[in-house]
Amino acid sequence: MRILPVAALCAIALAAFAEDPSPKKLKTDSPVRQKRIKEFLSEDPAKRKEALVEAGKWERAPWSEAVKKDLELIHKWAPVRVAPKDGKGLPVLRGQEKFKQGTVEREYAWVLPPKYDPAKPTPLWIYLHGSNGPAGTEPWSTWASSKGMICVAPVSPNKSYWHPVDGATDPLDYEESFFFSFMDSWRAKFNVDPDRIYLSGFSAGGFGSWWFSLRYPEFWAAVMPMAGGPPANWGERGPYEQPGKLGYWIWHGDEDKEVPVDLDRKGVEWLKKLGTPVWYHEYKGGDHNSWFGKDQAEIAKVVLGVVEKERRIVWPTRIVWCWDALWYKTFPKTAPLKGAWWLEFGECGDTARIEAEYAGDNLYKVTTKAVKDFTIRVSPDMVDLSKPVVVQLNGAEVFNGTLEVDFELMLKRQEKWGDPKRVITSEVHVVVPAGK
């Protein structure tokens, strides 16, 4: 066999590349795009896949009235859902649901409000059980459904805990993808209002409420832990900054012998120090089970006020995100999260921090520590796409340009989020200069 020199191999590779260039992107007009976007939104898996493939071939387009109409299709999209009925055609208001996540079976209980209308977005109340295991949806489902909410009570993978605990060895103790399989299942079955998803839980479920809100703050309208606390092993490493302006309502008994009240006290102290809205009530003489007796009516009154008032923050103007490699080495099966909402970052040091602010008038201001690159996800609901977008890094301008709409990106983000209020059309990727 004759071996060619490296220079000859490079020449052949370059010639082949010249003869077989990348496929040229296709120009499209609005009627074509609208047809495909409607098919994508039909929830037919085959049509959705076809639309995504075709959108990958389209040229990006400058902002225009036609493009604006394309995006309005997503904004106006409403899911088609069917109210559960029994064999006699009567409404079924509560039940158990099982589904497969890969090869693992998941389970949750659900209760619908008496006047549930599958054509209308409905608030969702999530109740996470304690370490004694699932016990249905009570004590909260009857109350929640009477107030017009869907209530779901999922079963944790190990039927005890929702978050990593010291010494955990089984991935089921801290692997998180199950929770978003639950979310996908609920959104596919019910017409859930994405702006009104309320996260709550008791004891281990209280820890779970802290856990999922500190790591995934962009999903919730409010967080309501009872007799729980943030993971003790987190220490002061930064996750408390991540919820931003997401509100917390927290209860604990000062004589709780099962879950030390100091855990909630320290978590509340950190949230307050960082400007996160917190309402905290400590029951004098209260034990671990205060919520199931005389105090439940009082808690329910506070919760109802929260549900009536609080809504999800879709596009926060300020995001802070922290990274600690040591924590992920301790629990390697947890998802390596690097951002939320409209911000994410890539390579970074063992401890890293990024702070990003949308200052208005198409201006983003970013400061970083040990971050090598980051991406800003741009939405026409935040910026004016007909004008240049500006990004400043540590006070210096690193990007200034008018962005075009990337239809493939837009549909892929919708495929992932399924959220008509969170439309991403463009991205700005910034490489941080060495030493910054």
DSSP string across 224-262: EEES--S-GGGTTSSGGGTTTT--EEEEEETT-SSS-HH
pTM higher than 0.75 for the full model? yes
DSSP string, 69-123: HHHHHHHT--------B-TTS-B--EEEEEEEETTEEEEEEEE--TT--TTS-EE
Which contiguous run of DSSP H or E holds residue 219? none
The alpha-carbon radius of gyration of the chain (Å, integer) is 24
Report the relative pairing of strands 363-371 and 348-360 from DSSP bridges.
antiparallel
Residue 8 is predicted with a pLDDT of 39
- Asked whether the beta carbons of 228 and 206 are under 8 A apart, the reply is yes
- Asked whether the beta carbons of 249 and 303 are under 8 A apart, the reply is yes
Beta pairing partners, 226: 202, 251
Q: Which residues of the chain have pLDDT under 70?
A: 1-24, 136-140, 165-175, 232-238, 291-295, 436
Q: What is the largest CA-CA distance in the chain?
A: 88
Domain 94-309: give its CATH superfamily.
Alpha/Beta hydrolase fold, catalytic domain (3.40.50.1820)
- Asked whether the beta carbons of 228 and 259 are under 8 A apart, the reply is yes
Identify whether 139 is preceded by a cis peptide bond (ω within 30 of 0): yes
d(CA 57, CA 34): 15
Residue 436 is predicted with a pLDDT of 63
d(CA 59, CA 404): 9
Write out the two tokens for 431. 């490489």
Residue 13 is predicted with a pLDDT of 38
Residue 138 is predicted with a pLDDT of 63
List pLDDT tens digits, range 167-184: 555 555 556 788 888 999
Going by C-alpha positions, the residue among 332, 326, 331 that lies closest to residue 349 is: 326
d(CA 299, CA 65): 49
Residue 327 is predicted with a pLDDT of 76
d(CA 56, CA 409): 8
Q: Could you say which DSSP state residue 66 is in? A: H
CA angle (94 as vertex; 92, 95 as ends), nearest 5: 105
Residue 2 is predicted with a pLDDT of 33
Number of Cβ within a 10 Å radius of residue 282: 15
4 Ramachandran zone, left/alpha/beta (phi>0; psi -120 to 50): beta
Q: Which residue has the tokens 């990727």?
A: 429
